[in-house]
């Protein structure tokens, strides 16, 4: 008998399982993957290395899978897809083939063009603007939702885009066959993976609910988590292609399971899904052209940040990296662009203005004037609390032909909707929670609409040649961190490793901002003396990956704040 969704874990229970076991109350993404000494690396790997071809990912196993494709004669697209599929297995809290969405930006060497993929979630046709009622909160001047249905459970499920995105990336620009590229992920799923006990218990609890069994106790959690159902599903996709997931028997199973639980996803919604090949947005900064996918992706806001920082530096000298001036520039820029982002950005079909107009010189000049006012008179406020369980991975790959890919994929929050389709190993993301639940906003719910999200991969070209690919994971920190990495490398002129290690600051439309303690007490004191409200953190909540041009080779840099992240060489 299928499990009743009335007994599904609510998000607070979700956090309790994970947090209590770790003794922290939260589930740090960077410590989720346990050491696995029996899985030996197949090639050189490190936090940073230089090679003609390489892959960088949040998990070393994904980086090595990508590098293995490069050594087999594959290109950067093959490597990115292999790494993406492995991440979908070894990081089940962050992403999966049922993840709600993905987005990527790439430079295709043969055509000498930047290409972008939008594999965002799509709201079911039965979605309505008022499907998630809100209760105004006069004290905080925001709102509350009476339950977690917008982000946990069947009603939070939109049509998932991750699988279609990976397969499209491979079919359009890869050179290896699907079975070869998916083989490492299938092997990891078949062999089982080692997860932190809290993470493994969460997976097993979701699986038990899907199959109508009692959830496991702490003593029932194995050291190695079996994923036979997922391996079988991946085998079927490798053999038959993504149509089986969307229009075939797997898609039917997904829609039927969600519908039985009270969701609105249908087989027609699944069958109609298509990822979009879209024209990238771009902006010129100091002789370089930065490219990113358009909304719903978050990169438009990231490019605004980079362009506005550059404009402030044209007025003054470029402030030293990590100085009070540099952080203040970022802080006031963040407040201005985030306010615009939350009010105006959405699926481009629902925006008041075409996305590219928000990167025009005239519009950037308007934003610059608002930034200057903020610098003259800082306005502290409140911090919007982040989702403690983040569910995203970012990876990148580059090859000797000059192809380079920056790719981000996600469940949304940790384990997404918390819904597993029985006997498939597929956990579904919660794409519906990325919509604005209130009526009348650009990003409000509508049928067939793609939600606004934070994934912000960026590629920079200089004289038509790719010189940088950056991106990040970590909820709303993604937008800021992608911009900060681009600023560090392209405006401050930092080395690739220095760019990754530089202290970070997070601010949205209001203060207090969150600043890493590595910025130093003198910097923090100076910013507070200027009227800014700051909260110090041991390290930034987000994680990033970077590839930069190094002569005729590439240098890959994995996130120094994440112990599991690595870069692996595909040649050289």
Contact 286, 349 (CB under 8 A): no
Statement: 278-385+456-571 belongs to CATH 3.10.20.600: no
Helices (H), ranges, 468-558? 477-490, 496-501, 521-529
Give residue 213's pLDDT.
Answer: 86
| Side-chain half-sphere CA neighbours of 190 within 13 A | 10
What are the b/e assignments for 454-464, b being 16+ CB within 10 Å? bbbbbbbbeee
Q: 274, 275, 277, 276: which is closest to 115 by C-alpha?
A: 277
Give residue 244's pLDDT.
Answer: 98
Give residue 45's pLDDT.
Answer: 47
Give residue 139's pLDDT.
Answer: 64
Q: Which residues of the chain have pLDDT under 50?
A: 1-12, 14-45, 381-389
**What is the distance between the alpha carbons of residues 47 and 63, in angstroms, rounded to a whole number?**
11
* Rounded alpha-carbon distances, angstroms, from residue 53 to 66, 96, 111, 512, 569: 10, 26, 19, 41, 6
Domain boundaries, given as residue ranges, for the chain: 5-47+74-103+119-274+411-434, 278-385+456-571
**What is the distance between the alpha carbons of residues 285 and 302, in angstroms, rounded to a whole number?**
13
φ/ψ of 313, rounded to 5, equals -70, -25
């Amino acid at each position: 008998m299928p499990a009743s969704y009335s007994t599904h874990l609510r998000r607070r229970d979700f956090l309790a399982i994970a947090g209590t076991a770790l003794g922290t109350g939260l589930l740090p993404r960077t410590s989720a993957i346990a050491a696995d000494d029996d899985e030996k690396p197949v090639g050189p790997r490190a936090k940073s290395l230089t090679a003609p071809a390489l892959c960088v990912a949040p998990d070393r196993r994904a980086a090595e899978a990508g590098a293995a494709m490069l050594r087999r004669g594959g290109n950067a697209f093959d490597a990115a897809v292999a790494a993406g599929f492995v991440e979908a297995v070894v990081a089940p809290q962050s992403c999966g083939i049922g993840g709600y969405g993905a987005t990527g930006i790439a430079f295709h060497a043969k055509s000498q063009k930047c290409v972008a993929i939008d594999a965002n979630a799509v709201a079911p046709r039965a979605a309505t603007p008022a499907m998630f009622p809100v209760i105004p909160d006069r004290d905080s001047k925001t709102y509350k939702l009476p339950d977690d249905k917008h982000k946990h459970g069947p009603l939070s499920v939109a049509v998932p885009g991750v699988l279609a995105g990976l397969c499209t990336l491979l079919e359009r620009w890869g050179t290896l066959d699907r079975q070869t590229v998916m083989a490492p992920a299938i092997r990891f799923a078949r062999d089982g993976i080692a997860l932190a006990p809290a993470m493994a218990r969460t997976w097993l609890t979701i699986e038990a609910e899907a199959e109508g069994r009692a959830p496991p106790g702490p003593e029932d959690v194995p050291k190695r988590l079996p994923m036979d159902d997922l391996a079988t599903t991946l085998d079927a996709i490798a053999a038959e292609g993504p149509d089986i997931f969307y229009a075939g028997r797997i898609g039917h199973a997904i829609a039927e399971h969600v519908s039985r639980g009270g969701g609105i996803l249908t087989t027609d919604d699944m069958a109609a899904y298509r990822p979009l090949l879209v024209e990238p947005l771009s902006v010129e900064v100091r002789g370089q052209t930065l490219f990113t996918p358009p909304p719903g992706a978050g990169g438009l806001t990231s490019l605004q940040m980079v362009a506005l920082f550059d404009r402030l530096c044209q007025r003054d000298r470029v402030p030293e990296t990590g100085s009070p001036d540099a952080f203040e520039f970022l802080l006031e820029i963040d407040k201005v662009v985030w306010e615009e982002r939350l009010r105006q950005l959405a699926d481009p079909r629902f925006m008041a203005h075409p996305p590219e107009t928000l990167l025009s010189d005239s519009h950037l000049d308007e934003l610059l004037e608002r930034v200057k006012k903020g610098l003259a008179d800082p306005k502290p406020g409140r911090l919007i609390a982040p989702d403690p369980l983040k569910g995203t991975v970012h990876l990148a790959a580059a090859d000797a032909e000059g192809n380079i890919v920056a790719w981000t994929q996600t469940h949304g929050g940790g384990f997404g909707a918390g819904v597993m389709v029985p006997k498939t190993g597929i956990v579904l993301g919660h794409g519906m929670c990325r919509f604005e639940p209130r009526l009348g906003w650009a990003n409000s719910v509508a049928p067939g609409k793609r939600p606004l999200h934070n994934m912000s991969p960026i590629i920079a070209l200089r004289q038509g040649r790719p010189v940088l690919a950056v991106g990040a994971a970590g909820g709303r920190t993604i937008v800021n961190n992608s911009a900060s990495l681009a600023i560090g490398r392209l405006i401050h002129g930092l080395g690739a490793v220095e760019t990754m290690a530089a202290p970070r600051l997070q601010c949205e439309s209001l203060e207090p901002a969150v600043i890493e303690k590595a910025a130093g007490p003198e910097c923090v004191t100076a910013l507070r003396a200027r009227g800014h409200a700051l909260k110090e953190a041991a390290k930034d909540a987000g994680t990033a990956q970077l590839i930069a041009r190094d002569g005729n080779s590439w240098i890959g840099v994995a996130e120094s704040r994440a112990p599991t992240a690595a870069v692996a060489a595909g040649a050289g």
